[in-house]
Amino acid sequence: MPRLFPRLGRVSKAPRAAPRLTPGPALSKIGYLLEVEVFRDLAPAEMGNIEQLTQMSTCHRGQVVYLPDETGEVLYLIKQGRIQIYRLSPEGRKLVLMTLDKGAFFGEMALVGQGMYGTYAEAVDDCVLCRITPQALERVLLAYPKVGVRFLRVLGRRLAETEDRLEELAFKSVPARLAGLLLSLSDPASHQVAGLTHQDLAEMVGTYRETATQVLDAFKGQGLIAIERKKIAILDAPGLERIASARG
C-alpha cells in the first residue's frame, strides 16, 4: 500500500512518512463506483463483480498518495474530493499537470504495466478513494472490454492535454499561459475564477508566485480583470483571448 506524506512546500527534499491510507466505509461502494467515468452504465451484476475486487480508503487534504519512483502497485478511483497530479523541478518549483475530480482515476501506470509512478499525487481535499490492483484490473478488463475501451479513451484525452501543456510551456509566455488559464477556469455564468490563490495559479502555468502576481497586476491595470481575495473577475474576455493566442 503506498505511503502518505505531509503537504509539500517549494522544496524538492522528500517529505517524511505519514500515516497510511485509512480504510473507508464499505457502504455504498457500488454507488461510488457507478460515478466513476469508466464504470458508468454497467449492469448491477457487473458492478457487483467489480466491487468485490476493490478496496475503499480515505486520505486527508494535503496528504501525498504516492511519490515519483514508487512502485505503481494500484490504480486509484476518486469517489470524493480532488487529487492534484504534479512534478517538482530540481529547484523545488511545482508544476501542476492536472487536477482530477470525483469520478476520475489516477495512477494509471498500474493499467499500462509501467513499474514506477512518475509524478506526485496529492489530495486537494479530504478524499475517498477506491484502490484496485493490476491483477484485479486485468480481470475486469478481460471480463468487460467496454471498460477497457473507456480507459483508453480517457488516457488518449489526457495524452493530448499533456501535449498541449508542453506546447504552451515551450512556445508561450507566462502572460499568454496565465490568460488562457483564467479563461479556461472562469465560470460561464459569473465570469469569475474562485477559490485559487496566486500560488495555485503560478503552479498551474509553471512559474513562480511573484511572476504570476506581477502578470495579474498588469492584467488588472489594463482593465482585463478585477482581483479580490481568492476571486478573479473576467472583465475583458476578448482581450485575454488575444493575449492567450500570442506566442513567444
Terminal CA-CA length for the chain: 44
Predicted local distance difference test score (pLDDT) of residue 64: 93
Select the CATH number that applies to the domain covering 172-245 from these four: 1.10.730.10, 1.10.10.10, 3.60.40.10, 3.90.280.10: 1.10.10.10
Backbone angles phi, psi at 18, to 5 degrees: -125, 180
Closest among 248, 220, 246 to 235, alpha carbons compared: 220
Domain ranges in the chain?
A: 22-167, 172-245
Cell of 126: 479530504
pLDDT at 187: 93
**Which of helix, strand or coil describes residue 188?**
coil
Query: If we measure between CA atoms, which residue out of 8, 127, 23 comes closest to residue 64?
Result: 8
Q: Quick one: CATH architecture of 22-167?
A: Sandwich (2.60)
Distance between CA atoms of residues 29 and 145, nearest Å: 22
Is residue 207 a contact partner of residue 174, using CB atoms and an 8 Å limit?
A: yes
- Which cell is 172 given? 508561450
Diameter of the chain by CA atoms? 59
Contact status, residue 28 vs residue 22, Cβ threshold 8 Å? no
Do 33 and 47 touch, CB atoms closer than 8 A? yes
Task: Please give the chain's pLDDT, 248 residues, in tens.
Answer: 344 433 333 333 444 333 345 554 444 677 777 777 788 778 888 888 888 888 888 999 999 999 987 877 788 999 889 999 999 888 888 888 889 998 888 987 766 665 567 789 999 999 999 898 888 888 888 888 988 898 889 889 988 988 888 888 889 999 999 999 999 999 999 999 998 999 999 999 989 999 999 999 999 999 999 998 889 999 999 999 999 998 76
Give the H/E segment covering residue 30. helix 29-34
Of 246, 222, 248, 247, the closest CA to residue 236 belongs to 222
- DSSP structure class, residue 186: S
> Around Cβ 20, how many Cβ atoms within 10 Å?
13
Q: Which residues, in sequence order, are bridge partners of residue 181?
A: none
